[in-house]
Structure 1
Amino acid sequence: MRHPLARALTGALALITVAAVAPLASPAPAAADSVVVGGYSVQVEDSPWVVALSSRDRFGGTRAGQFCGGVVVAPTKVMTAAHCLSRTVLGTDVTGVRDLAVVSGRTRLLGTGGREIPVSATWIAPEYSPGTNSSDLAVLTLAEALPASHAIGLAGVGDPAYAPGTSATVYGWGDMTGSGSYASSLRAASVTVLPDSACGQAYPGGLGGRYLESTMLCAGHPRGGRDACQGDSGGPLVARGRLIGLVSWGSGCGRADSPGVYTRISAVAAS
């Protein structure tokens, strides 16, 4: 049975306290200096397409109900990971979450400013496979429109932003160290897009999960220490000013031999 780390806040314990949530795999200590693992502080004004998914009803008010990330791709559309809307994460069917919302324009989850916009509809890619995390994509429709300037462009098939060796940035409010220390302010980490061959070697199948290059890409750092982590699921991976991936899964956080795996936007955006 496969146990990759699905990078959302999961389980009923999240209703009681965020700190009690443990990852599905036991990560080794990460060489992290901040969050996202190995990251640095950023202001949401500089990346207005980054948003937080929230439900205080399901996850409490400690972090404004944040449990996943998302990215604005049109004034009323937000992409996130399909597994963020699963019963495993939410503890109920997504249609039963009464206060599902997107937090936009707020660097600190409990800060002032920004908007909390209700989600009016959800769509999950029909090809999504919970068993493999293939096509791990969902789209949220917002009840109110955001400015068009908040949306980021998508990298299509053949875009050089997907080339191995390309510098990319992942964003989120997730775990700082891989051991349950969560961020209250938006962070980012610089990673490098890796060749499919390296991703396949890292995740050949079995307990660590299988990398599927048709719908996934992976990114990390040769020495580890830079990665998305628990709570970052659905957040954006950006290269050359375009969206190339969504945080999906991985084994541990910040391991040199276990890079983060992302939903490949060019493979799923046209679904």
Structure 2
Amino acid sequence: MLFYCLSCTVIISTTTLIGCGSRKTIENPTDIVPEELLEIGLIGGTPTEIKKFPFLVSIQKLSIPRCVGSLITASWVLTAAHCLVDLNRKTIFMLDPYEFTLISGRTVMASGTMEGQERSAEMFIIHSRFQRPYLKYDVGVILTTKPFVLGPTTQPVELYTMPPEVITFFPSCTLIGWNTGKHSFDDYEGPDLKPNSMKLEMMELKLMSSAQCKAILRGLISMDSVCTYLEEQCPGQSGSPLICGESLFGIFSWTAGCTNSSLPAIFVRVAKIYIWVHNVTHGQYIESFRKRSSLAEESGRASFNLIYLLNICILPIVYW
């Protein structure tokens, strides 16, 4: 389970950053390590069912819950870019899709549960402007090896496409995800430490004005971001969708702190990256980095070798 907390919550004309439970003085902004896996799950949510949010997908690495995604077509899942890269490297290094499984149509994630559908990942694509440490343009998509079968508990979500300059008033928006409990991602590395169950929950979040968010997090957000208040709440897993009205409005990226309404949660603004998502899911790989599954690459090489052997062995016999 990935949950990100930026190492700073408030920056006030100094280099002292108030971290999640610790203080750190940064000599250079590029030295900031922006992500920190918190030993905490979704807080402040209420139970819900997958049929109310049939676009929700659990992204798992080696059967370990890692992030949340949103089904945007039968074959494509939208999530945060940092879910698809190796966080132990300072440079951007994409993980192997072969290790990932996508699960839809499931209210409770529990071992042995047969509810829903499972698909393997074939390809990852992330935005080429994705930056660490500040997680700008933190957006990525996953192509499945075969499409999900659409039904009452598996349906794509509509993307919010109104440009950011068009102001739409939403009294509140809804974040959805599985409550993984008070565990860090590392707690799940052992086969005996996987959670017994992860229940689907939802929470209402109020949008914060861009001016106020920028005042709190100076220089750490851009036009591709949208902020919400956290009133005794914690958003949970990275990539969780923020639904405003009936559309996917934001993708959870990181937070400067939990259960404190003065500190925001940061989401990727879907309207800002909508055109990019449309392009890459239609074969136009502009401003993107791609990574295919090692299994798919092996299959491709095997097919090429077979064709090559046929050409050099069989065709000469035919012509002879």
TM category (shorter chain) comes to: 0.7 to 0.9
Give 2:239's aligned residue.
234
Q: Is the 8 A contact 1:4 1:24 kept in 2?
A: no
Q: Distance in 1 between matches of 2:38 and 2:53?
A: 32
Most deviating of 40-49 and 147-156: 147-156
CA RMSD of aligned residues (A): 3.2
Query: What TM-score results when the alignment is normalised by the length of structure 1?
Result: 0.75
State which structure, 1 or 2, has the greater radius of gyration over its C-alpha atoms.
Answer: 2
- Shifted more, 80-89 versus 164-173: the winner is 164-173
Corresponding letter in the other structure for 1:139: V
CA distance in 2 between counterparts of 1:237 and 1:130 reads 22
Letter of the 1:67 counterpart: R
In the TM superposition, residue 148 of structure 1 has moved relative to its aligned partner by 5.1
1:73 alignment counterpart: 72
- Secondary structure of the residue aligned to 2:131 is coil
In structure 2, how many angstroms separate the alpha carbons of the residues matched to 1:200 and 1:98?
A: 38
Match of 2:59 in 1: 53
Which of 172, 183, 191 is residue 167 of structure 1 equivalent to? Answer: 172
* CA–CA distance in structure 2, aligned partners of residues 227 and 151 of structure 1: 25
Residue 158 (structure 2) aligns with: 153
Matched, 1:198 2:208: no
Superposed displacement of residue 131, structure 1: 2.3
Q: Which residue of 2 aligns with 1:24?
A: 36
Provide TM-score, normalisation by structure 2.
0.64
Cα distance, 1:82 vs structure 2: 0.2
CA contact (8 A) 1:52 1:104 kept: yes
State the 1:116 CA deviation.
Answer: 1.2
Distance 1:89 1:97 in 2: 17
- Distance 1:239-1:165 versus aligned 2 partners, 3 A rule: closer
Name the CA shift for 1:93/1:129 in 2 (closer, same or farther; >3 Å): closer
In 1, the alpha carbon distance for the partners of 2:38 and 2:199 equals: 25
2:97 and 2:124 in contact (8 A); partners too: no
Where structure 2 has 5 or more consecutive residues not aligned to the other structure, the ranges are 1-5, 10-34, 188-194, 277-320
How far the C-alpha of 1:227 sits from its partner, in A, is 3.4
Match of 1:59 in 2: none
Q: Which amino acid aligns with 2:228?
A: A
Structure-to-structure mapping, 1:78-93, within 5 angstroms: 78-88=77-87, 93=93
Q: 1:225 aligns with which of 224, 229, 232?
A: 232
Match of 1:260 in 2: 265
Give distance in 1, aligned partners of 2:122 and 2:87.
Answer: 21
Deviation at 1:252, TM superposition (A): 2.1
Partner of residue 20, structure 1: none
Checking the alignment, whether the CA contact within 8 Å between 2:163 and 2:272 is kept in structure 1 is no
By how many angstroms is 1:88 displaced? 0.8
Tell me the CA shift for residue 176 of structure 1: 4.8
Higher relative contact order (CA 8 A, sep 6+): 1
Distance 1:25 1:203 in 2: 20
The alignment covers a number of residue pairs equal to 231
Give the AA of the match of 2:269. Answer: R
2 CA distance for matches of 1:4 and 1:268? Answer: 25
C-alpha distance in 1 between matches for 2:202 and 2:240: 10
Identify the residue that residue 7 of structure 2 maps to in structure 1. Answer: 3
Residues 78-157 of structure 1 aligned to structure 2 (within 5 Å): 78-88=77-87, 93-96=93-96, 98-110=98-110, 111-147=113-149, 150-157=155-162
Aligned to 2:198: 184
Letter in 2 for 1:156: T
In the TM superposition, what is the alpha-carbon distance from 1:3 to its structure 2 partner? 1.9
Percent identity, please: 19
| Alpha-carbon separation, structure 1, partners of 2:38 and 2:148 | 38
- Give the Cα separation in 1 of the matches to 2:166 and 2:148: 26
Measured against aligned partners, the alpha-carbon deviations of 1:51-110 in whole angstroms (never above 9, x if no partner) come to 110122xxxxxxx411100000111110000001111179x9544353311111111111
Distance 2:263 2:203 in 1: 16
Q: 2:221 aligns with which of 174, 194, 211?
A: 211
| CA distance in 1: counterparts of 2:42 and 2:166, whole angstroms | 21
TM-superposed CA distance for 1:139, in Å, is 0.4
Relative to structure 1, the CA distance from residue 83 to residue 162 in structure 2 (aligned partners, 3 Å threshold; closer, same or farther) is farther
Of stretches 254-263 and 163-172 in structure 1, the one that deviates more from structure 2 is 163-172
Counterpart of 2:316 in structure 1 is none
Q: Is the 8 A contact 1:164 1:194 kept in 2?
A: no
CA drift at 1:158: 3.8
Q: How far apart, CA to CA, are the structure 2 residues paired with 1:202 and 1:160?
A: 21
SS of 1:258's partner is coil
